[in-house]
Chain A
Amino acid sequence: MRRESAPKFWRVREQYYRIVGVKCTECGKVYFPPVLRCGSCGSRKMEPLELSNRGKLISASVLHQVPAPFEKAKPLVLGLVELENGIKMLAQIVDTDGEVKPGTEVEMVVRRVCVDGRYGLIKYGYKFRPVRART
């Protein structure tokens, strides 16, 4: 495993831990991840916007061949989630105990993503779990 630089992950902590996107102050279009310029109206005035942490699953795939740092976590479930405000994102789906169907209600949780074992950098970020998994 290669040694990784912490700032690369630290600077996007608002995105990884709270799903902070941006909203175009001109036309109102919302983006996640944040963009510098609105692809819809061309405005460069964007303000941060914390997105909903609830949504539903559009589609998911169970990945069995994973990049080396994820070897201990396999298989990974990767899915497309549509948040309540219509924003779609690609994310890991966890606590699924097997099959996870399109249309499943999901909510955001912050989890460990992977660990750089040799140097100790632990990476965290959003994942989604079915709402029924909450106890």
Chain B
Amino acid sequence: MSKRVMPDSKVGIAGVGAVVPGRHYDRTPSSLLAQALLSAIDASGVSPDVVYVASMTVEQVSKQLLFGSYAMAELGLKDILAIRVEAGDGSGGLALYNAFLAVKSGAYDCIGVVGVDKPHDIVSTELNTLLSALLHSDYEAYFGAIPTSLAALMADQYLRKFGYEYEDLAEWVVNMHSKGSANPNAYMRKRATVKDVVESEVVASPLRLYDVAPVADGAAAVILCNTDKVRTDVEVASVYSAPNNTLFAWRDDLTTLYSTRRASEVVYKMAGIKPSDVGVAEVHDSYSIFGVLAVESLGLCGLGKALALVKEGYFDSKVLINMSGGLKARGNTLGASGLYQLVEIYNQLTGKSPYKIEPRDVGIVHNMGGVDMVSTVAVLRRV
């Protein structure tokens, strides 16, 4: 199949909006979506032609199909098409990729991309069952596995392969808590010590409670525009979603995020940058080990080096990783996470973050669906 020639519009972000992640027991999913989307629309000063709706659990949690359409009805946007995108906790990234292509192709000049999830609308005892749906229903979830089990096997392989102790992995967690404590919008704002981490309960050996990002209700949105039509202050230089589509047991190497590596190779090339040009990044650390594997698979440091470097402060100085606190401290908002990450990078590049950050020119977002099933990487530049 040959590629069709497309109008090559430049894409930028005209505005962003997000709900502070939390336990929003008094809010409906559509009201969270509305708050994020309306804030982004107000900040951009333009109205979207179409809205992409990312979520991991909204249908299951609210027993609602056509969720996007009903949310548009509540917003009085009766002529706006809602396009639902699902890729588990990578939904936000995949929605961004689709919206990026739609603007780039010239199909639309202005698109709202919004992610929403409300895991606290289900009882906590059902949460693991919900998360297990990210795995293969017949051959992984059937036997009681949840994503934490697979993350644990990856952590076990990584620690053994590169000669680290569990205490080394705890340093990643400590780093995220430290950054989260400086972010007024983070779900977890307390600092943690290595002692806190290693003394927390084992969830799936070797992983402990502190290795798991806490789920939070939330919604985040961006307005993506054709830069010829709308003034934008951050350029979306490239976005790409890459698959892995390999069952967990079939994989050769459990210390590589294949989908992440593929997506990053493509976006760096498209944007004409090298990994060393990346100044800030928000990576998908739903488990501590995923954050570690992500920075390595993104080429932001050498293989097996991340845990040595996090201790040296490399990710607080050379390349700024998860200054928001990551999913670990800002909160794991599931299908909305990719949009939260985009909002963070937009704010970091434009100096609008509610936390202190050294200015940088190039930022990337890394959002992953399931245990390395699909990853989206986006390259953003300050205009």
Contact = CB atoms under 8 A, between A and B. Distances in A.
Interface of A: 8, 12, 15, 33, 59-71, 73, 76, 78-80, 88-92, 113-114, 123, 125, 127
Contacts, number: 91
Contacts of B156: 59, 61
B248 A67 contact: no
Nearest to A114: B144
30 contacts: A15-B139, A33-B136, A33-B138, A33-B139, A59-B153, A59-B156, A61-B149, A61-B152, A61-B153, A61-B156, A61-B204, A61-B206, A62-B204, A63-B145, A63-B152, A63-B203, A64-B201, A64-B202, A64-B204, A65-B203, A68-B125, A78-B143, A78-B144, A88-B250, A89-B249, A90-B249, A113-B142, A113-B143, A113-B144, A114-B144
A50 B175 CA distance: 48
Interface of B: 125-126, 128-129, 132, 136, 138-146, 148-150, 152-153, 156-157, 201-207, 247-250, 254
A78 B145 contact: yes
A90 B204 CA distance: 15
Given A59-B153, A78-B149, A88-B250, A64 B143 contact: no
A67 B128 contact: yes
A88 B142 contact: no
A62 B205 contact: yes
B157 A59 contact: yes
A8 B140 CA distance: 15
Nearest to B131: A67
Q: Is the interface of A mostly helix, strand, loop or mixed?
A: strand
Given A12-B138, A61-B156, A90-B139, A68 B126 contact: yes
Contact of B132 (A67, A73, A127): A67
A33 B132 CA distance: 18
Contact of A88 (B125, B202, B206, B249): B249
B158 to A, nearest CB: 11
B143 A63 contact: no
A73 B144 contact: yes
A66 B206 CA distance: 15
Contacts of B145: 63, 78, 90
A84 to B, nearest CB: 15
Contact of A76 (B144, B153, B247): B144
B225 to A, nearest CB: 39
A129 to B, nearest CB: 14
A82 B205 CA distance: 20
A63 B129 CA distance: 14
Given A65-B203, A68-B129, A80-B153, A123 B142 contact: yes
A63 B132 contact: no
